[in-house]
Amino acid sequence: MNAAPRIQTTAGRLAALGFADGARAERLLDELGPEAVGDFALLDDIVRAADPDLALTTLSRLVERDASVLGAFRDDPDLRRRVLGVFGLSAALGEHVVRHPECLPSIRSPRWPTLGDLREEMLVAVGADPDAAEPVAEPATEGGAAGPGTSGPAMEALRVAYRNRLLHLATRDVTGECTLAEAAAALADLASAALEAALAIARAEVADAGDVRLAVIGMGKCGARELNYISDVDVVFVAEPKEGVDETKALQTATRLAQGMMRACSASTPEGALWEVDANLRPEGKMGPLVRSMESHLAYFRRWAKTWEFQALLKARPVAGDLELGQEYVAAVNELVWQAAARPHFVEDVQAMRRRVEAHVPAGEADRQIKLGPGGLRDIEFAVQLLQLVHGRSDPLLRRRATLSALAALSRGGYVGRDDAKALAEAYTFLRQVEHMLQLHRLRRTHMVPSDTADLRRLGRGLGMTTDPVGEFTTTWKRHALEVRRLHEKLFYRPLLQAVARLPETEARLSTAAATARLEALGYADPEGALRHIAALTSGVSRRAAIQRTLLPVMLGWFADAPDPDAGLLGFRQVSDKLGTTPWYLRLLRDETAAADRLARLLGTSKYVTGLLLHAPEAVAMLGSPAELAVRPAATLAAEAAAAVGRYAEDAETAVAAVRALRRRELFRTACADLSGLIDIEEVGQALSSLNDVTIQAALDTAINKVTLERRAPFPTRMAVIAMGRLGGLESSYASDADVMFVHAPLPGAVERDAAVAAHAVAEETRRLLALPAPDPPLQIDAGLRPEGRQGPLVRTIASYRAYYDRWASHWEAQALLRARFCAGDAELGRAFVALVEPLRYPAEGISADAVREIRKLKARMEAERLPRGADPALHTKLGRGGLSDVEWVAQLIQLRHAGAVPVLRTTRTLDALRAAAGEGLLDPADEEVLAQAWLFASRIRDALMLVRGRAADSIPTPVKERVLLARALGYPPEGTEDFVEDYRRATRRARAVVERVFYEG
């Protein structure tokens, strides 16, 4: 009757000691026997394990297999402490001990064997003579002894020997007898020994194995001697024929040896596999030959290798096979590695590497990834390796393989601050320890921090956190991740400030030459100029300089990510000079990360945006939120413009200057939204056209008011402005003029001649006011599409337009009127004009075959005569093959033919007309899609040319740098410039084929 309370009490005590399941723990302890129940030292070591339940479960299984273990543990407390420590962390190694209890004596020694000892041990395990120049595994029998058979038993023996040593190392690691660096180096040495034994197995299977020298070059963590417990082992193979052997035959033999070695490591056996041997870092990756000669390797690296391949070669080290050949290989490639930063495409390759790293993080895993996620191991490794490549050219002391030793060298050389290096080293050590414990549990390759509480508890306890293992571990991990991410962003840039700003730092400074090299490597074309800008922004003791010293380390990185870092930094200095004393400016950039990021990328992308901002620097305030960049309604802008005109009613030039300032601000808003991807190209055209409408209306009102004041009499006529061309189609670009026609209608009782003179004066004044030299972009009013062109009257009455169109209108004028719409002035008069031209542009019966031929001839003549001399027809966005003009003429011909009978075609917009034509069966939907894609692409390019260069252009530029800037502004990666050009050629080629068929033949 008293047993139940006793069990409950004991189970509770065990739970209090750290067991998750106290009752089960009590049962397992009872099953171990009375001696174990009373062995408090044994219980204490179990409780100290990271997972006491796992440790006790594994011990129970081991005792079932070999009861003498308990006695051995009592006789050797050190052995007990080591083994139980591993049992509490690694279910996989515990399983190995249960299967092979005979391995326990081998781990009693705290000393770790040398690489030579490990190599001998692994070779003996597979039956090879370790003293032979090229050890060959003996064919093994089922029992593993020499004799006829297959390599299977040898591979099993290799796995058992390897895991015995892995267990030995884990016991030293868990008990703190070796540092992280020592454990990682020991794992790499053990892998090297295993590779040597695997190569011996391969030699036993390959005929003529002695005809070739084969070196196995360790790469990645294996090469750097910083390997994980379980990881792919990255290698590269290099081979040379022995004297008198044909090279082709030797390379074939070497390839079979390499394949056999890889299979000996990765093949599944009753003892499992060791790990995958990954040779994908070789030249040409998976597509390249597995084994190459030294000459072939070097030829590839000199001609074809990307920067990331040299970054990988930082870690190269001979690990197995012909070590002399391996040393020759490493010495040869090192000469190339340390010149990689001087390569023409170094910056683009670096940026591509960063994107590739980020792309490898699966969606939804980034916040738990300790390797690839933000603030993970790759952030540290990438930053350290890039600094090595940049500064190792001139500083041989930085040429280290392992991350921690390289980081220490960077700190000693002044390339990384001491405090930053210390924080990174601590974070790297912590993250690698977590990585090791994650992998030890099941001996599986993983970098994901689990979400399960029991797993987190095991990790926390394994790191010595006993009070609140889950909470302490999570807090520490997140703190390190945030610090790593911050330092990753800062690492390249903070020392640049030290080099120029005389900061009160105790550590060694980055020299001017080193700072210049770093800026050059990051993509700054004028590093000396960049250093001058940095000095101007950060020098001094003012609050402004102090905030700039906080901002610039991050912003310099954002500039480096932009297409033109130099322009970005220069623009930032210019804007800061204008606004530096404004209290809100630097506070906004410091406190609103999104605003500072967006400003840096805009300044580094667009000279147009920079120019707008320099004349209205207060517009920086709208960068803090995407909502601030939303296109404002036309009615709101019209009210604001009208208020400005009303304030300066007595001064026309001041009134229109205020309106043009409004337009400049809205151009900036639209350009920022465009470059930030918040609006598409159709929305850009709509926004710019509406803004131009508002501007013309305000200028017209101002001109009417001025002319009225000058006449000292009421204005005698009504006026309307009819938008034509791209403005009429609501498709304005940043560089577009405003194509318009002016119409007026004399008021009752007015003298027609007087009304015409007044209307003409207003039209001229409107044009003058909008074109006056000023800091704000002009809006050129082009009335060249009016009847009789530039020779005809600038302004006509409705009756005059009707008389002209009834008698003289040509096909091209009817075509031009397809885009006519009212945009400013008297709305009733505007509607009357539009009604007047409806029959002309939408003929009820369509247009005749003769008219179609005339339109086609005119188009062909334009293609032959209007394309600028020397322009590439394939790259001219407006008049080139498949460009804007081609697509627009197709849409307009369909409208002239069918809009009289099909009302849905009556639109001034190109894409709407094409969509309507496809919807009505007048154009194949596939053709409509091809034409629309080409038109959108060409429109985006024309706008991007203006944004990037700050001046209008119609052709994709020839100079490589300008093409790169343009491609980047359009969203292509740095290495995607040729892809951009080819994409455009492809889109317009397909569009031209449709034009040939639909416009010229249909």
User: Which tokens in the block code for residue 634?
Assistant: 């036309």
User: Which pLDDT score is estimated for 9?
Assistant: 58
Q: How far apart are CA 811 and CA 861, in angstroms?
A: 15
- Calculate mean pLDDT across residues 289-297: 97
How many of the other CB atoms lie within 10 Å of CB of 808?
10
Residues with Cβ within 8 Å of 765's Cβ and at least 6 positions away in sequence, in order, are 652, 702, 703, 706, 707
β-bridge partners, 849: none
pLDDT category of residue 149 using cuts at 50, 70 and 90: very low
Q: 């991807």: which residue's tokens?
A: 677
* Number of separate helices (H) and strands (E) present in the chain: 44, 10
User: Which pLDDT score is estimated for 902?
Assistant: 96
For 585, the enclosing helix (H) or strand (E) is helix 583-591
Q: 């000693």: which residue's tokens?
A: 412
β-bridge partners, 746: 717
Q: How far apart are CA 229 and CA 446, in angstroms?
A: 10
For 623, the enclosing helix (H) or strand (E) is none
User: Which pLDDT score is estimated for 500?
Assistant: 61
Q: How far apart are CA 431 and CA 477, in angstroms?
A: 8
Closest to 83 measured CA to CA, from 64, 108, 102, 100: 108
777-829 pLDDT, tens digit each: 999 999 999 998 888 999 999 999 999 999 988 888 999 999 999 999 999 99
Q: 């950060």: which residue's tokens?
A: 538
Q: Is the pLDDT of residue 683 over 50?
A: yes
Residues with Cβ within 8 Å of 764's Cβ and at least 6 positions away in sequence, in order, are 794
Backbone angles phi, psi at 717, to 5 degrees: -150, 160
Q: Is the pLDDT of residue 315 over 80?
A: yes
CB 691 within 8 A of CB 670: yes
Q: How far apart are CA 909 and CA 891, in angstroms?
A: 9
Strand segments, DSSP code E, in 258-412 are 277-278, 291-293, 317-321
- Calculate mean pLDDT across residues 473-490: 86
CB 355 within 8 A of CB 381: no
User: Which pLDDT score is estimated for 10?
Assistant: 75
Q: Is 525 exposed, middle or buried (0-12, 13-18, 19+ CB in 10 A)?
A: middle
Q: How far apart are CA 598 and CA 601, in angstroms?
A: 5
Strand segments, DSSP code E, in 755-835 are 781-782, 795-797, 821-825
Residue type, 853: R
Q: How far apart are CA 686 and CA 633, in angstroms?
A: 11
CB 890 within 8 A of CB 882: no
User: Which pLDDT score is estimated for 821?
Assistant: 97
Closest to 487 measured CA to CA, from 431, 409, 554: 554
Q: Is the pLDDT of residue 916 over 60?
A: yes
User: Which pLDDT score is estimated for 382?
Assistant: 87
Characterise 953 by phi-psi region: left (phi > 0), alpha (psi -120 to 50), beta (else): beta
Q: Is the pLDDT of residue 6 over 50?
A: no
User: Which tokens in the block code for residue 281?
Assistant: 């870092």
Q: How far apart are CA 981 and CA 967, in angstroms?
A: 8
Residue type, 714: P
Q: Is the pLDDT of residue 356 over 80?
A: no
How many of the other CB atoms lie within 10 Å of CB of 999?
21
3-state secondary structure 371-386: CCCCCCHHHHHHHHHH
Burial 284-294, CB ≥16 within 10 A → b, else e: eeeeeebbbbb
User: Which pLDDT score is estimated for 593?
Assistant: 77
Q: Which of 44-53, 556-565, 761-770 has the lowest mean pLDDT?
A: 556-565
Q: How far apart are CA 98 and CA 604, in angstroms?
A: 63
Q: What share of the chain is helix, strand, coil (3-state, %, to 5)?
A: 65, 5, 30
Query: What pTM value is reported for the model?
Result: 0.74
User: Which pLDDT score is estimated for 498?
Assistant: 59
User: Which tokens in the block code for residue 444?
Assistant: 């599986």
Residue 862 CA to its chain's centroid (Å)? 43
Burial 63-99, CB ≥16 within 10 A → b, else e: beeeeebbebbeeeeebbbbbbbbbbbbbbbbbbbbb
95-109 pLDDT, tens digit each: 999 999 999 988 887
User: Which pLDDT score is estimated for 348?
Assistant: 72
- Calculate mean pLDDT across residues 826-847: 96
Q: What angle do helix axes 977-998 and 960-969 make, rounded to 10 degrees?
A: 80
- Calculate mean pLDDT across residues 410-434: 90
User: Which tokens in the block code for residue 386?
Assistant: 């890039």
Q: How far apart are CA 491 and CA 679, in angstroms?
A: 35
Q: Which of 72-81, 557-566, 577-586, 907-916 has the lowest mean pLDDT?
A: 577-586
58-70 pLDDT, tens digit each: 999 999 999 899 9
Pairing of the two strands 821-825 and 717-723: antiparallel
Q: How far apart are CA 833 and CA 999, in angstroms?
A: 29
Q: Which of 128-142, 605-619, 942-956, 958-972 has the lowest mean pLDDT?
A: 128-142
